[in-house]
Homo-oligomer: A and B are copies of this chain.
Amino acid sequence: MSGWLAVAGLGPGDAALITPEVRETLAEASDLLGYGPYVARVAARPGLAIHPSDNREELARARHGLALAAAGARAVLVCSGDPGVFAMAAAVCEAIETGPPEWAALDLRILPGITAMLAASARAGAPLGHDFCAINLSDNLKPWPLLARRLALAAEADFAIALYNPRSRARPDTLDRAFDLLRGAVGGARPVLFARALYSAEERLEIVALAEARGAMADMRTLVLIGSSRTRLVPRPRGALLYTPRSAA
């Protein structure tokens, strides 16, 4: 019997947003791996071995999953959101590229999930209705000059900009620097969405003008989204709608 490794996205947190594909794969698993809080989202059951790990150990976790699969396990490595967006799928690919040749022959399944910017967009209206980009602010290996250049070009291209992992303990001031840079590029009027802990009891949506946006308004459970020049705010009795029209004209 041959093993496999699935890298599965659990979405923003609500079970109603976990795909049947992921749920069925979890039901077949012999081994469950992932960052502790994500592993804790999956119900324990007899026959499912649990291997929670620390957030910083991505490559080691990927290798662990591949080694288990190579030994015949039906291993599922769970991520929040989608595994392909700033999450574990890239670490697994890197582990395969740099690992023993037999890992390249394994049955690898990557199972998509609802990534944070889609959940934030759904809660707020449709800010990603026109061209957009997604930038990871948490990468400790990304030097500020590179990040600054990318943000400036994204603003010049008039993308709506989704910022993932906007605040980390290691780089607490990056988000404020990003806001400063964007204010210099596009002024202070753009709407900025702070979407925190989506689809949980602590969900909070806040929309402020870029002039008022502060890094302290976000934490690691927040997705920050800066509108393009065309993004509009429509007042409503039940909270404003934030949307970007599809057409550029």
Interface residues of A (CB under 8 A from B): 11, 14-21, 24, 58, 82-87, 89-94, 96-97, 104-105, 107-108, 110-115, 118-119, 121-123, 125-136, 139, 141-143, 146, 149-150, 153-154, 156-159, 232, 234-238, 241, 243-249
The secondary structure that dominates the A interface is mixed
Name A97's contact: one of B18, B105, B129, B232 (CB within 8 Å).
B232
Is the pair B135, A110 in contact by a Cβ cutoff of 8 Å?
Answer: no
A134 to B82, CA, bound (A): 16
Q: What separation, in Å, do the CA atoms of A198 and B130 have in the docked complex?
A: 23
19 interchain pairs, CB-CB under 8 A:
A18-B19, A18-B20, A20-B20, A82-B118, A85-B121, A89-B125, A90-B245, A93-B129, A96-B236, A97-B232, A97-B243, A110-B121, A131-B136, A133-B133, A133-B159, A139-B246, A142-B247, A142-B248, A143-B248
CA distance A219 to B86 in the complex (A): 28
A110 B125 Cβ-Cβ under 8 A: yes
CB distance from A65 to the nearest CB of B (A): 14
State A241–B125 Cα separation when bound (angstroms).
Answer: 35
CB contact between A93 and one of B96, B97, B125, B248 (< 8 Å): that residue: B125
Q: Which residue of B lies closest to A92 (CB)?
A: B126
Closest beta carbon of chain B to A239's beta carbon, Å = 10
- 17 additional contacts, CB 8 Å, given A16-B24, A105-B238, A142-B248? A16-B20, A20-B20, A89-B125, A89-B126, A90-B129, A93-B232, A93-B241, A107-B238, A112-B121, A131-B150, A132-B134, A133-B159, A139-B246, A139-B248, A142-B247, A153-B156, A154-B157
The CA-CA distance from A130 to B245 in the complex, in Å, is 26
In whole angstroms, what is the CA distance A123 to B109 when docked? 8
What number of copies of this chain does the assembly contain?
Answer: 2
Pair A110/B123 contact, Cβ less than 8 Å: yes
**CB within 8 A of A112: which of B114, B154, B156?**
B114
Indicate if the CB atoms of A247 and B141 lie closer than 8 Å. yes
A245 to B87, CA, bound (A): 10
Q: How far is the CA of A106 from the CA of B234 in the complex (A)?
A: 13
Q: Which residues of B contact A125 (CB under 8 A)?
A: 89, 93, 110
